[in-house]
Amino acid sequence: MKMHTTKQSLGAALAGERRQGRTIGFVPTMGALHEGHVSLMRRARGENAVVVASIFVNPLQFAPTDDLARYPRSLEADAALAAEAGVDHLFAPEVAEMYPHGSIATRVDVGPIGDIGEGAWRPGFFAGVATVCCKLFHIVAPDRAYFGQKDAQQLAVIRQLVADLDLPLEIVGCPTVREPDGLALSSRNTYLDPEARRAAPALAAALMAARDAAASGEESAEELRWTVKTCLEAEPGIRLQYVDLFDADSFSARERLDGRGILAAAAYVGGTRLIDNVDVVPAALPAEVRGR
């Protein structure tokens, strides 16, 4: 694996790969890698001749009240994981390489999808995600880019970005990777103390209970939210921030489950904010559609 810290170095290396007609798969990350990231890299390895991953803690995704400095960073360990997963080129730029003037004047406005769900609680977050991904897509020029479904709204935002701006790449969504007890893998899990780690799987369990209710015929978003809230009442270590139902394709908010949906939630477990989501499918859908 070759490590690159500048756009020039990476660009020169990838120009040589393209001259040989090799397809490029790309996995953008903020580091603190875990098996969820590794699953994306392995998927990219299986579908492309060249795999590029990036590690960049993007300051545009952090509000002034967020602790950017506290975000976990472990470049040496991350590089070892990436190499083991089959990454050919690792791009790990400093902030000054991506934003030479300290920030950036031009931002990508993602529209209404950026103001609901996570966006309602983290104003400007998805503009930061879309802006850095747009830059990275131009720098890497991949044929495919890989994102986890654990961040379902982010995946929807990136798909919209690529479609709206006619960017020449395919976005590949990959399944959420979970611990044996159901907790979705996240870099933020490292913040959980032992008591919070014990409580954390209850969020996934509550979402899965609502998913089961939908499969049994429940179509009301209010009732699905109630199911999640009721399940979490038994776990005082979790403070639910929101739980909402969204359309699986457009990620628009829904009050009834009239097609495939995503039930997404955020909660504080101890002092750590975690997000998770599950696919929900109405019982009325034909079996062949339900199984997709």
**CA dihedral defined by 82, 85, 88, 92, rounded to 10 degrees?**
-10
* Angle CA 3–127–111, to nearest 5: 140
**pLDDT value of position 77:** 95
Would the pLDDT of 92 be above 50?
A: yes
Distance separating alpha carbons of residues 139 and 11, to the nearest angstrom: 7
pLDDT (mean) for 124-141:
97
Residue pair 215/283 in contact (Cβ under 8 Å)? The answer is yes
Would the pLDDT of 287 be above 80?
A: no
Distance separating alpha carbons of residues 73 and 63, to the nearest angstrom: 18
Q: How far apart are the first and last CA of the chain?
A: 36
Name every residue whose Cβ is closer than 8 Å to that of residue 137 and which is 6 or more positions away in sequence. 26, 145, 162, 167, 169
| Residue 292 binned pLDDT confidence (cut-offs 50, 70, 90) | very low
Residue range(s) in the chain whose domain bears CATH number 3.30.1300.10: 187-279
Of 266, 264, 268, nearest to 239 by C-alpha is: 268
Distance separating alpha carbons of residues 48 and 59, to the nearest angstrom: 30
**pLDDT value of position 171:** 98
Would the pLDDT of 176 be above 70?
A: yes
Query: Phi, psi (5° rounding) for residue 153?
Result: -70, -40
Cα 58 from chain centroid (whole Å): 14
Distance separating alpha carbons of residues 161 and 12, to the nearest angstrom: 26
The residue from 37, 89, 101, 138 that is catalytic is 37
| Residue 69 binned pLDDT confidence (cut-offs 50, 70, 90) | confident
Residue pair 267/238 in contact (Cβ under 8 Å)? The answer is yes
**pLDDT value of position 21:** 95
**pLDDT value of position 139:** 98
| Residue 283 binned pLDDT confidence (cut-offs 50, 70, 90) | confident
| Residue 65 binned pLDDT confidence (cut-offs 50, 70, 90) | low
**pLDDT value of position 285:** 64
Residue pair 233/266 in contact (Cβ under 8 Å)? The answer is no
pLDDT (mean) for 151-167:
98
Distance separating alpha carbons of residues 129 and 182, to the nearest angstrom: 27
**pLDDT value of position 70:** 76
Cα 155 from chain centroid (whole Å): 6
| Residue 290 binned pLDDT confidence (cut-offs 50, 70, 90) | very low
pLDDT in tens, 35-47: 999 999 999 999 9
pLDDT in tens, 206-237: 999 999 999 999 999 999 999 999 999 999 99
Distance separating alpha carbons of residues 224 and 243, to the nearest angstrom: 9
187-279: CATH class: alpha beta
pLDDT (mean) for 177-206:
96
**pLDDT value of position 265:** 98
- Kindly report the pTM of this predicted structure: 0.94
CATH code of the region 2-174: 3.40.50.620
Average pLDDT, the chain: 94
Q: Percent of the chain beyond pLDDT 90?
A: 90
CB atoms within 10 A of CB 141: 17
pLDDT (mean) for 128-154:
97
**CA dihedral defined by 267, 269, 275, 280, rounded to 10 degrees?**
-70
pLDDT (mean) for 238-262:
96
**pLDDT value of position 274:** 97
Distance separating alpha carbons of residues 141 and 28, to the nearest angstrom: 12
Residue 37 annotated among the catalytic residues of the structure: yes
DSSP 170-185: EEEEEPPPB-TTSPBP
Residue pair 239/199 in contact (Cβ under 8 Å)? The answer is no
Residue range(s) in the chain whose domain bears CATH number 3.40.50.620: 2-174
pLDDT (mean) for 269-288:
86
**pLDDT value of position 103:** 82
* SS3 label, residue 130: helix
